């Protein structure tokens, strides 16, 4: 698996990634969080950190990994598959959140994310949406320089997604990174300052584009085309059209029905 254009430094900005499944978004996040170590294409004999530092010398990645490995920068990551939390974490919600509340924001966050009613429940009994909000709260309570959230809107309804986005957005500090991988474009639009599109062949390689504004980045993703590089990474556009139907007349109504179909529309 190959990952290109891996990191571009953006401090004090909210950075979102969007792309199809299987091209390494989660793998890249785990490397940025220090969970995985980049192998530089060597699948047999993993390189040492000294070799990795030499490889990235002079780049922003060199500065990033030097701080991360040297314990001068702390990362925390919310995993993609929150269902696995039931297997790996045991205990009551309130007790567990007390142990990670390094920022002393537990009461505020739990009230905002509507977790108060499950504080006495065991994690194993939480629903998918409750697990997601629990995981977001647990990461947001940590003191960190890098906050990473992998698909934080999964299992959440519209209201809960907006609240989760607000909680995540509040983590942004003058010298911090906040990185989110998300498929809900409306949440990305609400959250982010910049967006990186990811493309490639699932299970083979992935490429991260350089950061774009939200409007430009979402249009790049929808169009499957990077204008600055004159590069098309998807044959078909992901587009939408709102059309009117007169079928409402057959239902005894004068109000036309609205239909959504995948055709032409860019983000404006």
pLDDT tens digits along 102-112: 999 999 999 99
CA dihedral for 18, 19, 21, 26, sign (positive or negative):
negative
Residue 6 or 222, more confident? 222
Q: Which residue is associated with the tokens 């139907």?
A: 245
Q: Is the pLDDT of residue 244 over 60?
A: no
Q: Which tens digits make up the pLDDT trace of 47-71?
A: 999 999 999 898 878 888 888 888 7
For residue 194, the cross-strand partners are 15, 213
Q: What is the helix (H) or strand (E) element at residue 78, kind and residue range?
A: strand 75-78
CA dihedral for 107, 113, 116, 121, sign (positive or negative):
negative
Cβ proximity of 165 and 157 under 8 Å? no
The average pLDDT across 176-182 equals 88
For residue 240, the cross-strand partners are none
Q: How far is CA 127 from CA 110, 117, 123, 132, 142, in A?
A: 16, 13, 9, 9, 23
Nearest Cα to Cα of residue 60 among 42, 73, 76: 73
Q: Is the pLDDT of residue 255 over 50?
A: no
The pLDDT of residue 89: 93
Residue 118 makes CB contacts below 8 A (sequence gap 6+) with 93, 126, 130, 134
**Fold type of domain 2-233:** Rossmann fold (3.40.50)
By the 10 Å C-beta count (0-12 exposed, 13-18 middle, 19+ buried), 247 is classed as exposed
The pLDDT of residue 223: 93
Q: Which tens digits make up the pLDDT trace of 148-159?
A: 999 999 999 999
Domain parsing of the chain, residue ranges: 2-233, 238-268
The average pLDDT across 116-135 equals 96
Q: Is the pLDDT of residue 6 over 80?
A: no
The average pLDDT across 165-176 equals 89
């Amino acid at each position: 698996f190959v990952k290109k254009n891996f990191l571009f430094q953006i401090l004090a900005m909210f950075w979102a990634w969007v792309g199809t499944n299987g091209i390494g978004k989660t793998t890249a996040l785990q490397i940025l969080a220090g969970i995985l170590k980049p192998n530089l294409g060597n699948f047999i004999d993993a390189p040492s950190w000294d070799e990795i530092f030499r490889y990235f010398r002079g780049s922003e990645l060199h500065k990033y990994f030097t701080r991360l490995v040297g314990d001068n920068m702390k990362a925390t990551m919310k995993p993609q598959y929150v269902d696995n939390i039931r297997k790996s974490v045991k205990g009551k919600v309130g007790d567990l959140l007390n142990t990670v509340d390094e920022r002393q924001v537990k009461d505020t966050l739990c009230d905002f994310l509507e977790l108060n009613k499950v504080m006495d429940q065991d994690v194993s009994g939480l629903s998918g949406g409750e697990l997601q909000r629990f995981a977001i709260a647990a990461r947001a309570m940590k003191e960190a320089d890098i906050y990473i959230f992998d698909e934080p809107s999964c299992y959440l309804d519209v209201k809960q997604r907006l609240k989760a986005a607000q909680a995540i957005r509040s983590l942004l500090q003058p010298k911090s990174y906040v990185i989110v991988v998300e498929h809900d474009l409306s949440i990305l639009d609400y959250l982010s300052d910049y967006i990186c599109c990811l493309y490639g062949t699932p299970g083979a390689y992935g490429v991260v584009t350089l950061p774009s504004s939200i409007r430009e980045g979402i249009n790049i993703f929808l169009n499957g085309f990077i204008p600055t590089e004159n590069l098309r990474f998807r044959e078909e556009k992901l587009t939408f059209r709102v059309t009117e139907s007169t079928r409402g007349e057959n239902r005894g109504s004068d109000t036309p029905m609205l239909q959504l179909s995948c055709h032409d529309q860019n983000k404006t």
